[in-house]
Amino acid sequence: MKGIIVPMVTPFDKDEEVDEKAARGLTDWLIEEGVHAIFPNGSTGEMPKLKIDERKRMIDLVVDQTNGRVPVIAGTGDAATKHAVELMRYAKDAGADAAVAMVPFFWRYTPEVIMDHYKTISESVDLPVVLYDNPATNNILSAELVAKIVDEVPSVVALKDSSFDMVKLSKEIHSVGDRIAIIQGIEQLLVPSLLIRASGGIPGIGNFCARFMVDMYNKFVNGQLQEAAQMQAKLFALCNATERYGFEEFIKEALALLGHPVGQVRKPSRTLSPEERDEIRRILTQFGLTKQNAT
């Protein structure tokens, strides 16, 4: 549970149905680009917009296509504990290597309720669990709660922290980093997080610049800290662009421009204008990404 783990987008056809051929093709390309693991059904994969059956199908597709070449960390988080258990059981039976269990979302819950959620899914399914702290859920996994969950839920093997809070991340690494992997979920903070002993990153933009992210991680691991820091600085402009045009929208458009079409973002979403698409092409070219060097 380390390195660059890509939270894969969910490809759709023109009718907004899961595009199985595109999903298999994207899986192959990510592996060829050197990613350390693939994570279907994350927020970058538009998980809240997917039906339970569609999420199961994505797990099947990615597990089958990887064929053991890299681990599959299946997204199984849900607002309902019952559904999370169902998805985790399915992921285990399908052959996933671990499950990402996002903190329950939408409604606010007490730490006791969140703890009970993780205990229930862990006791129901024998599968390694990755905690996922995402502020968009309306619930926060504090560093103290993470430590308590790790103490009481032995199947937890990692935490994806997307809180943007480096102090919190540092506390997590200090308190439980010797027992579980702490993984940065924010692209802009990957190298700083590695410096304080994070195990890797789960970058959404890794869908279209996986090789760059893997190279940056490898440079850090090999002691080329200045080069890794320079790559991190270069990444800021790309990350800022995704915020201007919409994160998932930018990623899917970038993939299409690089020769890996995965359809549009499922509605409700913003449709990019021709001028915006041209601007995204310019941004990718400036970054060094073109269709020729991405295949």
Point out the residues that are catalytic. 132, 160
Q: E-strand spans in 173-220?
A: 181-184, 200-201
d(CA 165, CA 162): 8
Q: What is the 3-state secondary structure (H, E, C) of 26-78?
A: HHHHHHHCCCCEEECCCCCCCHHHCCHHHHHHHHHHHHHHHCCCCCEEEECCC
Task: Count the Cβ atoms, other than its own, within 10 Å of residue 232.
Answer: 19
Tokens of residue 229, six digits? 């820091």
Q: Facing residues of 6 across strands?
A: 38
d(CA 222, CA 245): 35
Tokens of residue 287, six digits? 């970054």
Burial category of 236 from C-beta neighbours within 10 Å (exposed 0-12, middle 13-18, buried 19 and up) = exposed
Is cis: bond before 268, omega within 30 of 0? yes
Question: Which helix (H) or strand (E) segment is 226 a member of?
Answer: helix 225-245
